Every structure is written in structure tokens, then in C-alpha cells.
Amino acid sequence: MENQNIAFTLGVGVLAALALFVLFFKVLKRPGKLASLLTFLVVLAVYVPLAVLYWASLDVFAIHFAFFTMAAVLPGIIVGNRRGSDVDGGRLHWDLGLSSAFL
């Protein structure tokens, strides 16, 4: 595992994180933000010991940590921020509620 390609490990890790999010959200019917948190915790519980055992460098660890965190958190933000069906048909509102903070 010492000579693994960083693109391969990032791709597999991100796809695994997305699959785990789908498992928590769709199959186990958890709310989006909870599924995101559980995905984040599981992915890091798997990755951190592997990173310690097969240490490449701190920059490689930081890149993986950032990508795996984004892959776990962003789906939770997207599905957890849906408006109710009475507002706009349940579609995602892309300003994430930030525009009202600047008005």
C-alpha cells in the first residue's frame, strides 16, 4: 500500500463514502445530516488507522482527509437543505439560506 496512486486511493475512498451515505440515507432512512455525520465518522475511523500504518506524508494525509470529509459532508448539506413542498415543490434552493443574512 506504500506505492499506491493517490488518484486511485482518493477515487475509491470518495466512492466508498458516497456509497456509505446512500446506505445510511436511502436504505436505513436516516436524516441527511445524520447520515452525513455517520458517514464522516465511519470513513475517518477506517482511514486514520490505515494512514498511520501506511504513512506517506502529512500532505498526502491532509489531501485524503479533505476529500473524504467533503465526500461525507456535501451530500448531507444538499439533501438536508431541501425546502418543504409548500415552499417550492421540495426542490433544492441553491443559496443555502445565505442570501437572507446579507439583506
Among residues 9, 100, 96, which one has the least CA distance to residue 56?
Answer: 9
pTM for this model (two decimals): 0.72
Q: How confident is the model at residue 43 (pLDDT cuts 50, 70, 90)?
A: very high
Question: Of the given ranges (21-25, 31-35, 91-95), which has the lowest mean pLDDT?
Answer: 91-95
> What pLDDT is stored for residue 33 in this prediction?
85
| Whether the Cβ atoms of residue 21 and residue 36 lie closer than 8 Å to each other | yes
| Whether the Cβ atoms of residue 22 and residue 28 lie closer than 8 Å to each other | no
Average pLDDT over residues 28-53: 91
Tell whether the model's pLDDT for residue 95 goes beyond 80. Answer: no
Phi, psi (rounded to 5 degrees) for 92: -75, 130
Q: How confident is the model at residue 94 (pLDDT cuts 50, 70, 90)?
A: low
Tell whether the model's pLDDT for residue 82 goes beyond 80. Answer: no
Q: How confident is the model at residue 57 (pLDDT cuts 50, 70, 90)?
A: confident
